[in-house]
Amino acid sequence: MFGVDRGTAVGGRETYRDRGAGDSFQHSPPAPLAMNTFDRFRVTALAAAIVIAAGCAAGDDANSAPDSASAPAAAAGIAPTADTRTAGAVAVDSLLMAVYKTPTCGCCRLWVDHVRENGFHATTTDLADVSPVKATHKVPSDLQSCHTALIGGYVVEGHVPSEDIKRLLKERPDIIGLAVPGMPSGSPGMENGQVDAYEVIAMGKDGSRKVWAKHGQ
């Protein structure tokens, strides 16, 4: 009966012997199937998708980490502001000031020069009548002066020195603002060689008044 006996490997190929014919022959193992273009594309796309997914996960972790500077404010339910970031100091953006005055007021312009020279970023608006601004912001009639400024949620009425305004913004009391009634000589913008004693008045929301500072004493 004819048959085939499997022999030993020769040169990387296996030998076989035909038992009936007595002949031997060599047989090479089948070559591995070559990967076609479509298969290579699928493997490449899968590898790229894995890399992108890993990168997105790392980015999400980085973005979700809380800012250490704002974490205390966030924990308290308070959005971080310039004031909370610079506790005990006057923040740069809190020095923005809006000044309302009449177009012909010379001492008003000089007071604006004074606050600008001391670091405030003052803008001016000329009005034929400034009294509606004073009434809107509840400046008592007997404490009114020639110009009215708004800054950091406060009213600054008249020739208030810049150092008193900076102290106001640093301490942030619960008041309407500060006022220097009239136009006392020697106050900022009213320098004429004479220095009068005058007071800076803190205007309370309940109508109370308190001396904030004294000058010219």
- 201: its two tokens: 């008045």
Query: Is residue 27 over pLDDT 50?
Result: no
pLDDT recorded at residue 40: 55
| The residue count for the chain | 217
Degrees (nearest 5) of the Cα angle 173, 120, 154?
30
Q: Averaged over 162-177, what is the pLDDT?
A: 97
Checking if the pLDDT of 68 tops 90, the result is: no
Instruction: Report residue 211 as tokens.
Output: 């001396």
Euclidean distance between CA atoms 216 and 155, whole angstroms:
23
pTM of the model: 0.59
8-17, 128-137, 168-177: segment of lowest average pLDDT: 8-17
Q: Convert the pLDDT of each residue in 101-118 to its tens digit.
A: 999 999 999 999 999 999
Cα separation, 6 vs 126, in Å, equals 111
Q: Which of 25-34, 95-104, 107-116, 198-207 has the lowest mean pLDDT?
A: 25-34
Alpha helices in 65-207, H assignment, sequence order:
71-75, 82-85, 106-117, 131-136, 162-171
What is the token pair recorded at 109? 């312009």
Whether the pLDDT of residue 59 is over 60: the answer is: no
DSSP state of 159: S
Gap between the Cα atoms of 73 and 64, Å rounded: 16
pLDDT for the residue numbered 217? 76
How far is CA 75 from each of CA 80, 86, 103, rounded to the nearest angstrom? 11, 18, 48
* Cα(2)–Cα(21) distance, integer angstroms: 7
* Pairwise CA distance, residues 72 & 83, whole Å: 14
Task: Determine which of 39-48, 60-69, 136-145, 192-201 has the lowest per-residue pLDDT on average.
Answer: 60-69
Least confident of 64-68, 130-134, 147-151: 64-68
Instruction: Answer left, alpha or beta for residue 69, where phi above 0 means left and psi between -120 and 50 means alpha.
Output: alpha
Strand partners, 10: 13
